[in-house]
Amino acid sequence: MDEPKMISPKPPRKNVLKTISGVVFLALGIILLISFVSYIFHGHNDQSQLADFWSREVVAENVLGKLGAYLGELFIYHGVGITAVFLPIFFILLGIKILFKFKQIKPFKLLYNCLFFLIWTPIFLGFVSKIGILHGVMGFEINDYMNTFIGKIGMGILLGMSLILYMVINWRITPEKLASSVQRKSKGLDEDDENLEPEIKTEKQTEASISEIPKPKKITPDPIEELSLDNLNPKTELIITDFPEEKKTISPSNELIIENISTKDEDDLELTVEKIKQEDTVEKISANLVEKHGEYDPTLDLPGFKFPPLDLLRKYDSGENVTINQQELERNKNRIIETLANYGIGISQIKATIGPTVTLYEIVPEAGVRISKIKNLEDDIALSLSALGIRIIAPIPGKGTIGIEVPNSHPTMVSMRSVIASQKFQTAKMELPIAFGKTISNETFVADLAKMPHLLMAGATGQGKSVGLNAIITSLLYKKHPSELKFVMVDPKKVELTLYSKIERHYLAKLPDSDDAIITDNKKVINTLNSLCIEMDDRYELLKNAYVRNLKEYNEKFKQRKLNPENGHRYLPYIVLIVDEFADLIMTAGKEVEMPIARLAQLARAVGIHLIIATQRPSVNVITGTIKANFPARVAFRVTSKIDSRTILDSSGADQLIGKGDMLFTTGNELVRLQCAFVDTPEVDEITEYIGSQKGYPDAFLLPEYVGEDGGSAMDIDLNDRDSLFDDAARIVVMSQQGSASLLQRKLKLGYNRAGRLIDQLEAAGIVGPFEGSKARQVLIMDDMSLEQLLNNLNQN
């Protein structure tokens, strides 16, 4: 079919006629409207002039002169009163409709409504008033006539009833209509559709081709707009010929021609369904799972677990609040001013901030004083104040003042209870919040271990290291559920961390073959560190497969059930490695320890493994360059020499601390002086007892097995005591030519340990090669035949 023929442009003459009629209606409407409105105001005066209508001397006040006055008189006074304005309104709307193809204007509906009100309104106005201009002669006469027959009340009833009837007819308020009104409304139907229906049927019945359609005009844009397939008889077969898109659009000059519509819905429906199925991706499945089971909650492993209550921590009556000793303040202030004055340094301002252990005197020197001069006077000021542990901060970063920290003669104890109870700690939105203690301005200091990401702690013996470690562990125990956090504790001193063995089944991680979770044997430390490296590599593999960059995102995804546990995915708890007395380790194990520590420090941050390393001797052969470079966060308790202070902090200051938990903390930028919170051994004992007495996991969190170079070799394995899955594992390994434990884990749905044991047995049987670090082992059997032969031999033995 020739497409251009489908769209039949209207003859131009017809268009011109249409335009003319539109203009005429519009003009007529405007003339009548102006005449009527003007008549309402001037009609009274103009009435007398109309007698001499043709006389040129006679002038009417109506805006449209005598014609306007006449029209007003005719339609309003002798006609229907002010209701006559409906007439020009009708003409104007009709004109607009014809000229501008206004879809909203429906001429028949408009005419019908206008006619009703042109009759009803004057009668009603005649009924309620006696003002001639309101109801006109018609309104008055009809009222008068009817009154004689049915009386005033009857007239009222008649008017009311006719209005109700109008509404009923207009809005189709019939019982059936009422019942289906909601449905009909939603389909957007109205009465015009009914006019349309027979026309469509006509088209259908003729089944004429486009070119043969005699009256394409019949289907105008208006009804088509309202055409809904629901409205069509289901049996009606209509086919819309496939017009090019732009020709299908309805424009004033083009008509849409419907040839036939075929409702081949079934095919379309199938296609749609398939599309939905395609979208049934991980997102959808996980959403369904979350809807069904809720988000994965790791804490449900131990649903009844209760965090230790605050009461387990001691209250120290002596010094919860910082006491201000006015005399001491005055004395120190005067001595500072005097000492500086002796060296010709004037002070323009001095301010004191009282902390738990030290008071910070902030001074603003007079103009022209060199800062280095004050810095050099450190010892002199200390001498004149006869106090140890004076530290001069010149200048205080970001403040433009010089700080002199002077120890208080009666320091205040910062209890663990006070920092744990603080609002700052309780509301901390951190992954691994640590309440270290209080700052110089007596504020609780909370830092996030996850952000540090590893911490190096140093301090001479007896200065508060162990208390500091306990404070860190306590903070984490008060905030993290056992399912979210695991500690690997290394304690060469054998006594410091033993208290925590009570929480082994809750918070501790250990090697599968070890009895104690707290590692005291240096040999085992090496294995544990290497095992942590394997755990780190495994975690990176999991993160890679889950397309996430860090542990937080991974766990988030796992909670939303977007990661399938059958593919080896699991909720990953944070792992905090704590090494008390690192110097001892380095002395005995040296490089063997340094390498995995450095590797973990460099890489483990993203996979949620964090290191806290404490040492008494912060000498350069203990804290080597590699270690230092990877531990940006440092805590220094009092050390004995400036050199040690420089080793740990890269600046002096730690040598001027006063001990007993007085510490400096840095994350690479500025130093913060803190008083470490004090938590005593009995308190730790109570906390671990409280946790330990609750239901825990069956065992400690098991780290991946690590077989050291000289550890259990493949030769130690007894091949007569093979795993029941040995044959299957061998076939998988040979088939995929890949000797990795994680492959067996996935394929055979095993835990890491069993998969690791299987790999060792495969190595002993000569199926895979030896361990090659993080690389998969080499597979020594190339084909199934050789493998089956080997398995047969093994089974016969």
Amino acid at position 715, single letter: M
Q: Tokens 């004083």 identify what position?
A: 369
User: Is 286 annotated as ligand-binding?
Assistant: no
Long-range Cβ contact pairs of 777-784 (< 8 A, separation 24 or more):
777/739, 777/740, 778/739, 779/733, 779/734, 779/737, 779/738, 779/739, 781/730, 781/734, 782/734, 782/737, 783/734, 784/731, 784/734, 784/735
Q: Which is closer to ligand ATP, CB of 588 or CB of 738?
A: 588
Q: Is 21 annotated as a binding residue?
A: no
Question: Binder to ligand ATP among 438, 486, 660, 757 (CB under 6 A)?
Answer: 660
Taking the complex as a whole, how short is the minimal distance between the CB of residue 440 and ligand ATP, in angstroms?
A: 15
Determine the interface stretch with ligand ATP among 189-197, 454-462, 499-507, 752-760 (rule: CB under 6 A).
Answer: 454-462
Stretch near ligand ATP under the rule CB under 6 A, chosen from 173-181, 398-406, 460-468, 700-708: 460-468
Q: Which stretch binds ligand ATP (CB under 6 A): 153-161, 320-328, 456-464, 558-566?
A: 456-464
The CB-of-389 to ligand ATP minimum distance in angstroms stands at 14
Residue 583 contacts residue 615 (beta carbons within 8 Å): yes
Nearer to ligand ATP, 447 or 534 (CB): 447
Q: How many residues bind ligand ATP (CB under 6 A)?
A: 14
Considering only 126, 459, 608, 653, the residue that binds ligand ATP (CB under 6 A) is: 459
Touching ligand ATP, residues 465-484 (CB under 6 A):
465-467
Using CB under 6 A as the binding rule, whether residue 461 contacts ligand ATP is answered as: yes
Select the span of 462-470, 716-724, 758-766, 777-785 touching ligand ATP (CB under 6 A). 462-470
Beta bridge partners of 448: 433
Task: Considering the complex, state which of residue 599 and residue 660 has its C-beta at the smaller distance from ligand ATP.
Answer: 660
Q: Judged by CB under 6 A, does residue 678 bind ligand ATP? A: yes
* Burial group, residue 646, by CB count within 10 angstroms (0-12, 13-18, 19+): middle
For residue 47, say whether it is annotated as part of any ligand binding site.
no
Cα–Cα distance for residue pair 635/453, rounded to 1 Å: 13
Instruction: For the CB of residue 441, give the shortest distance to ligand ATP in the complex, in Å.
Output: 18
Q: 75 or 678, CB closer to ligand ATP?
A: 678
Query: CB of 313: closest distance to ligand ATP in angstroms?
Result: 13
The reply, when asked if residue 466 is annotated as ligand binding, is yes
CA–CA gap between residue 56 and residue 75 (Å, rounded): 23
Nearer to ligand ATP, 140 or 436 (CB): 436
CB burial class (10 A; 0-12, 13-18, 19+) of residue 541? middle
Which residues, listed in sequence order, are joined to residue 665 by a DSSP beta bridge? 635, 672
User: Considering the complex, what minimum distance in angstroms separates the CB of residue 403 from ligand ATP?
Assistant: 22
Binding to ligand ATP by residue 463, rule CB under 6 A?
yes
Q: Does 492 bind ligand ATP (CB under 6 A)?
A: no
Region of 97-105, 459-467, 715-723, 748-756 interacting with ligand ATP (CB under 6 A): 459-467
Q: Is residue 231 within 8 Å of 195, Cβ to Cβ? A: no
**C-beta of 615: minimal distance to ligand ATP in Å?**
9
Q: Is 55 annotated as a binding residue?
A: no
Residue 578 beta carbon to ligand ATP: minimum distance, rounded to whole angstroms? 13
Kindly tell me which of 333 and 660 has the beta carbon lying closer to ligand ATP: 660
What Cα–Cα distance (Å) separates residue 197 from each residue in 153, 187, 200, 213, 433? 44, 15, 5, 17, 73
Give the strand order in the sheet containing 402-407: 347-354, 358-365, 402-407, 391-393
Nearer to ligand ATP, 309 or 462 (CB): 462
Shortest Cβ distance from residue 517 to ligand ATP (Å)?
A: 21
Shortest spacing between CB 471 and ligand ATP, in angstroms:
7
Q: What is the layout of strands, in order, in the sheet containing 444-448? A: 444-448, 433-439, 671-676, 662-666, 633-636, 455-458, 609-615, 574-580, 485-490, 518-519
**Which of 706, 498, 752 is CA-nearest to residue 596?**
706
Query: Within 590-708, where are the H helices?
Result: 591-603, 625-630, 642-649, 681-692
Residue 460 annotated as binding? yes
CA distance between the termini of the chain: 85
The whole-angstrom separation of Cα 702 and Cα 636 is 33
Give the shortest CB-677-to-ligand ATP separation in angstroms: 6
Tokens read off for 110: 């408009």
Q: Are 46 and 139 in contact (CB under 8 A)?
A: no
Q: Nearer Cβ to ligand ATP, position 117 or 316?
A: 316
The residues in 579-598 that bind ligand ATP, with binding defined as CB under 6 A, are none
Quick check: bond before 308 cis, omega within 30? no
Contact positions with ligand ATP (CB under 6 A) in 399-418: 413
Stretch that binds ligand ATP, among 383-391, 396-404, 455-463, 721-729 (CB under 6 A): 455-463
In 485-608 the beta strands, taken as DSSP E runs, fall at 485-490, 509-510, 518-519, 574-580
494 annotated binding-site participant? no
Question: If DSSP codes are grouped into helix, strand and coil, which group holds residue 420?
Answer: helix
**Residue 643 Cβ vs ligand ATP, minimum distance, rounded to whole Å:** 19
Determine if residue 264 is labeled as part of a ligand binding site: no
- Provide the minimum distance between the beta carbon of 688 and ligand ATP in the complex, in angstroms, as a whole number: 17
Using the rule CB under 6 A, which residue among 68, 464, 482, 739 binds ligand ATP?
464
CA distances to 30, 167, 171 from 115, rounded to whole Å, are 19, 14, 16
Residue nearest to ligand ATP (CB): 661
Question: Cis peptide leading into 221, omega within 30 of 0?
Answer: no
- Coil, strand, or helix at residue 573? coil
The residue among 463 and 645 lying less far from ligand ATP, judged by its C-beta, is 463
> Which residue, 375 or 494, has its beta carbon nearer to ligand ATP?
494
CB of 437 to ligand ATP, least distance (A): 7
CA 444 to CA 199: how far, in whole Å? 84
- Binding ligand ATP (rule: CB under 6 A), the pick from 188, 462, 751, 766 is 462
Using CB under 6 A, which of the segments 91-99, 206-214, 229-237, 457-465 binds ligand ATP? 457-465
Which residue among 661, 696, 704, 739 contacts ligand ATP (CB under 6 A)? 661
Name the minimum Å distance from CB 652 to ligand ATP.
Answer: 20
Closest CB to ligand ATP among 183 and 461? 461
What value, to the nearest 5°, has the Cα angle with vertex 718 and ends 716 and 719? 130
Q: Which range in 174-182, 321-329, 461-469, 718-726 contacts ligand ATP by CB under 6 A? A: 461-469
Shortest Å, Cβ 433 to ligand ATP:
18
322 closest CA partner among 387, 415, 388? 415
**H helices, E strands: number in the chain:** 30, 18
Tokens of 770: 């030896």
Member of 83, 616, 645, 761 binding ligand ATP (CB under 6 A): 616
Contacting ligand ATP within 292-321 (CB under 6 A): none
Please tell me whether residue 617 binds ligand ATP under the rule CB under 6 A.
no
Only one of the segments 363-371, 376-384, 458-466, 546-554 lies at the binding site for ligand ATP (rule: CB under 6 A); that segment is: 458-466
How far is CA 323 from its chain centroid? 46
Question: Per DSSP, what are the bridge partners of residue 437?
Answer: 445, 676
Radius of gyration of the chain (CA): 47
Q: Which is nearer to ligand ATP, 413 or 529 (CB)?
A: 413
- Enumerate the known binding-site residues: 459-466
- Enumerate the known binding-site residues for ATP: 459-466
Give the residues lining the site for ligand ATP (CB under 6 A): 413, 459, 461-467, 616, 660-661, 676, 678
